[in-house]
Structure 1
Amino acid sequence: MTRENITDILCIGCQKGSTSWLHSVLNSHPMTHSFPSSGPLTSTDKEAHFWDWNHERGVDWYRTLVTPPNPAKLSMDFTPEYAFLPAEHIAECKALNPTAKVIYILRDPMARAVSALRMHMLWRYGKDHAEPLHHDDEFLTLVRNSRITLHGAFLQNLRAWQKHYPDMMVLNYEDFHNDRAASVARIFAALGLDTNEMDEGSQRRVDRLIDGGRVWESEKFPMDRSVLMFLQGLTWRVRQACESELTMRFAEGEQLLNG
């Protein structure tokens, strides 16, 4: 069987947009394939990081990593850093994966930034860090290191990818979680995955994830209100543009400010 794509299902983020959760849901289907975890070259069996970490290893390395033993299965690569690839790398991706299904999950830009900072705080300080994050030089360093603006440049990233994948799937994180069962059903259908092919164990795994199961959750490190206000200002234009141009509605950021 000749494969059209190296990667059949490509999720480009957003970071902290439940990409790990969606990967776990799709990985439960018998007709999908996750590459073997190859850390530190890859991030578990989810993020191949070909175009950002491993591009110099060459296309054959990527093909060997991702191609399933059963060529009928759909291979997956869920790497949020792909969202802001340069144009030449997106074009190369299209050449290697001409009929891939590309998924981009968008989340309230401020809430996404808060979650990303908490993830970086966990990596830097560990779980027991109790001091609130203040608006100071250390905070600004975290903002730079977590690449808030690159990960949060939703429309810029979307337009760059839509030049090559005009029919890519764009999902709203909040819609995604307000009705998980319906969202999962729509995504399975869009990817051509028949739920009738799932055995009892696979269906139970998906049901647990739909019923509130989490794959990764950032620690709820405290943040000063000044930090939240700064992030609101930093992400405000992106939020307004998404709500205007994509007719998406976000509520998480306001909830954070009012909570």
Structure 2
Amino acid sequence: MSRENAADILGIGAQRAMTSWLHQALSAHPGTWAFPDFHPVTSSTKEAHYWDWNHKRGPDWYKVLMRPLDERLKSLDVTPEYAFLSDRQIEECKALNPGARVIYILRDPLARAVSGIRMHTLWASKNAPAEEVSLEMDQAFLDRCERARIWDHGACAANLKRWRRRYPDLLVLNYEELRADPLAGFRKILTHCGLDWQGLDQAVRDSLTERARRHVWATPRYALSPDCLHFLAGAMWPLREALTKETGITFEEGDALLEGLA
């Protein structure tokens, strides 16, 4: 049986915008399939990283990785770094996955940057308690911003435009709304992906509902100095403005972070 797509469902970002939640909820649906964990070639069963880590392995490798054992199932690849693929790479993705359903969860670029830096701080601090870690405006902080690729991940408006050229029907979700009502967002995702809800038995629906309401790995809330927040607010301001202009969505999470700063 030939398959139209290598990956039937693509979650392309943004990083620190509930993509792990998206994967753990979708992968529990009886109509989906997640590839085996081949760490460090892949990142668990969630991120295939074909266009960044593994492109050298070639399209046949990707097709074999993504192919379900049961051909009736829809295969998942939720790799946040796909959000900032180039036009050429997205064109290649379209050739491999012409009928894929694409999901892009958008988060306020400022709040997303703070969360991304905290994630990299977690890795660098060897799990030190949050109250023992404070981020100050120094070269180490700027280096962490670079490693976290805050500008690439925050350029959601430009990323969205590139992806819409090839996948005009991609599903855009607001992280803030998704956090407020994850089950409603999950039902919308199922509809977009052509996955059944009403036809599932009650036990399966109850299990999916529980997973949809589950919070997947929050990073410790390491303290950022006012100077750090002011720097990030300035760095992310044009990206926040561009995203609101492109989508019409008003994001409030970043403004809440800045409350009290003069």
TM-score (norm 1): 0.95
Contact 2:157-2:239 at 8 Å conserved across structures: yes
Contact 2:21-2:212 at 8 Å conserved across structures: no
Correspondence for 1:248: 249
Q: Post-superposition shift, 1:134?
A: 0.3
Instruction: Report the 3-state secondary structure (helix = DSSP H, G, I; strand = E; otherwise coil) of the residue aligned with 2:43.
Output: coil
2:9 is aligned with 1:9: yes
- Alpha-carbon separation, structure 1, partners of 2:147 and 2:32: 33
Letter in structure 2 aligned against 1:236:
W
**How many pairs are equivalent?**
258
- Alpha-carbon separation, structure 1, partners of 2:232 and 2:102: 28
Q: 1:1-259 counterparts in 2 under 5 A? A: 1-128=1-128, 130-211=132-213, 213-258=214-259
Contact 2:84-2:153 at 8 Å conserved across structures: yes
Contact 1:30-1:197 at 8 Å conserved across structures: no
Letter in structure 1 aligned against 2:177:
D
- Alpha-carbon separation, structure 2, partners of 1:205 and 1:57: 37
- Alpha-carbon separation, structure 1, partners of 2:200 and 2:26: 11
Letter in structure 2 aligned against 1:210:
A
- Alpha-carbon separation, structure 1, partners of 2:119 and 2:232: 15
Q: Post-superposition shift, 1:65?
A: 0.8
Instruction: Report the 3-state secondary structure (helix = DSSP H, G, I; strand = E; otherwise coil) of the residue aligned with 2:33.
Output: strand
Instruction: Report the 3-state secondary structure (helix = DSSP H, G, I; strand = E; otherwise coil) of the residue aligned with 1:10.
Output: strand
Q: Post-superposition shift, 1:197?
A: 4.3
Letter in structure 2 aligned against 1:241:
A
- Output the aligned Cα RMSD: 1.4
Q: Post-superposition shift, 1:244?
A: 2.3
Contact 1:33-1:73 at 8 Å conserved across structures: yes
Residues 115-146 of structure 1 show CA distances to partners (whole Å, capped at 9, x for unaligned) of 00000001111221513100110000000111
- Alpha-carbon separation, structure 2, partners of 1:52 and 1:93: 12
- Alpha-carbon separation, structure 2, partners of 1:157 and 1:142: 22
Instruction: Report the 3-state secondary structure (helix = DSSP H, G, I; strand = E; otherwise coil) of the residue aligned with 1:167.
Output: coil
Contact 1:51-1:82 at 8 Å conserved across structures: yes
Q: Post-superposition shift, 1:181?
A: 1.9
Residues 78-122 of structure 1 show CA distances to partners (whole Å, capped at 9, x for unaligned) of 001111112221111000100101111110111000000000001
Letter in structure 1 aligned against 2:28:
S
- Alpha-carbon separation, structure 2, partners of 1:5 and 1:41: 21
- Structure 1, gaps ≥5 residues long: none
- Alpha-carbon separation, structure 1, partners of 2:202 and 2:96: 35
TM-score (norm 2): 0.94
Instruction: Report the 3-state secondary structure (helix = DSSP H, G, I; strand = E; otherwise coil) of the residue aligned with 1:33.
Output: strand
Q: Post-superposition shift, 1:199?
A: 4.6
- Alpha-carbon separation, structure 1, partners of 2:219 and 2:182: 20
- Structure 2, gaps ≥5 residues long: none
- Alpha-carbon separation, structure 2, partners of 1:176 and 1:102: 17
Letter in structure 1 aligned against 2:60:
D
Residues 19-39 of structure 1 show CA distances to partners (whole Å, capped at 9, x for unaligned) of 010111111110101000110
